[in-house]
Amino acid sequence: MKIKKMLVSDYDTNCFILSDEETKEAVIIDPGDDGVVLMEYVEGENLKVKYILNTHGHNDHVGNNDYMKEKTGALVAIHADDVDILTNPQLYMKYDGIKGQSAPDIILHNGDEIHFGKYTLTVIYTPGHTKGGVCFWEKKENVCFCGDTLFRGTVGRVDLYGGDLTTIINSVQQRLAVLKDDTQLYPGHGPATTMGYERKLNRYVRK
């Protein structure tokens, strides 16, 4: 699986474009902004984007959903519990110059599988940063895209609308910490890490 990380938005959000090098089928995780640059990559690699996947509904992760859907024809997928902030960012943001995105094509549930090329992403429901946060885990490649649920050494903020500390700790300990030590983790901001590193050094993962 080819993993292309691109920094987007004012918050340096990690947008990931995952593709199968044989079939050229691809998914885009969290196109928060800078769709013009994302499209340069998609077109340069000749990718067929099947899905636009949102780890959660914050604007820095979803802000170019509509743009990328229009350009690629891909279907947008997000968990049901973040559709409210996807379509109405004023729920968590005072600034009202940010427009909501269209309602999704697909509602994600814990355990759902998303197929592209020879790869399968499994949806892991991890609320706490928002109500409807999810991670995307590819078992064969042993990689997991964590959004703002888990960062290297810490977890995402819980002070915004729908956030809750106990909930995010439960998500991390019960849903993510079951992954093996050598699982590569790709957070929504900052550097990649591994579950083994987090098990040793992240106080929210350590029991």
137 vs 145: CA distance, rounded Å: 6
The answer to whether residues 10 and 63 touch, using CB atoms and an 8 Å cutoff, is no
Q: Per rule CB under 5 A, is residue 131 in the interface with Zn ion?
A: no
Query: Cα torsion for 163, 168, 170, 175, to the nearest 10°?
Result: 120
**Apex 199 CA angle, 78 and 136, nearest 5:** 20
Which of these ranges, 37-45, 111-119, 182-190, 196-204, lies near Zn ion under the rule CB under 5 A? 182-190
Q: If binding means CB under 5 A, how many residues of this protein chain bind Zn ion?
A: 4
Tokens of residue 195, six digits: 């579950």
Q: Per rule CB under 5 A, is residue 30 in the interface with Zn ion?
A: no
Q: Per rule CB under 5 A, is residue 25 in the interface with Zn ion?
A: no
Q: Per rule CB under 5 A, is residue 58 in the interface with Zn ion?
A: yes
CB closer to Zn ion, 32 vs 117: 32
CB closer to Zn ion, 8 vs 74: 8
CB of 36 to Zn ion, least distance (A): 20
Which of these ranges, 43-51, 55-63, 94-102, 198-206, lies near Zn ion under the rule CB under 5 A? 55-63
CA–CA distance from 45 to each of 10, 20, 118, 200 (Å)? Answer: 26, 11, 17, 38
CB closer to Zn ion, 25 vs 33: 33
52 vs 123: CA distance, rounded Å: 14
CB of 9 to Zn ion, least distance (A): 8
Q: Interface with Zn ion by CB under 5 A: which residues?
A: 58, 60, 148, 188
